[in-house]
Amino acid sequence: MGKLKRRDKRGQTAAGLVGSLEYAALCALWEQAPANVNAVLDRINHGRKREDRLAYTTVMTVLARLYEKGILDRVKAGRGYDYTPRFDEAALIRHLGQQEVTGLVDRYGAVALAHFAAALEDADPVTRRRIAEAMAEAGDA
């Protein structure tokens, strides 16, 4: 699946932050959106051996779950839907990171914030610069 990896300007990908099939569907949609289940299925299955091809219902379920998670938008098109990503890859990484941090702070409160502060104190200058850049991007979003 290496050919599916997309990178933002810092070399980060959303691979590993979402499931592998979710990432394959997102890559297909980042290349061609809006798209229906058949178009995404064709893109994902392109180049796969017959025995490795995904079923229509598998891709339909993946797209429905990404929609339910708020990662995709969809509009009714005939008997199905056309799907469009709500985020480009860099924005998705920021969105998922924000959700994770919010969840940790909601769950652990001040303890989580204390750990974040300690990690920041221990960070090397390059990491601190990256954190500052990420904070500036988050403020722009």
Per-residue pLDDT tens, the chain, 141 aa: give them.
334 445 444 558 999 999 999 999 999 999 999 999 999 999 999 999 999 999 999 999 999 999 999 999 999 999 999 999 999 999 999 999 999 999 999 999 999 999 989 998 999 999 889 888 888 877 775
pLDDT at residue 108, rounded to an integer: 96
Q: Are residues 66 and 103 in the same domain?
A: no
Helix/strand number for the chain, H first, E second: 6, 2
Q: Are residues 99 and 66 in the same domain?
A: no
Q: Are residues 73 and 106 in the same domain?
A: no
Is the sign of the CA dihedral 98, 108, 16, 134 positive or negative?
positive
Q: Are residues 33 and 72 in the same domain?
A: yes
pLDDT at residue 69, rounded to an integer: 97
Q: Are residues 132 and 113 in the same domain?
A: yes
State which of 60, 85, 110 marks the end of a domain: 85
pLDDT at residue 11, rounded to an integer: 59
pLDDT at residue 36, rounded to an integer: 98
Q: What end-to-end distance do the CA atoms of the chain give, in Å?
A: 30
Buried b or exposed e, range 86-101, using 16+ CB within 10 angstroms: ebebbebbbbbeeeee
Mean pLDDT of the chain: 90
Domain that holds residue 121: 89-140
Q: Are residues 57 and 126 in the same domain?
A: no
Q: Are residues 21 and 42 in the same domain?
A: yes
DSSP E strand stretches across 1-141: 72-77, 80-85
Q: Are residues 134 and 107 in the same domain?
A: yes
What's phi and psi for 32, nearest 5 deg?
Answer: -150, 95
Q: What's the Cα-to-Cα distance from 122 to each of 49, 73, 85, 118, 130, rounded to whole Å?
A: 48, 40, 36, 6, 14
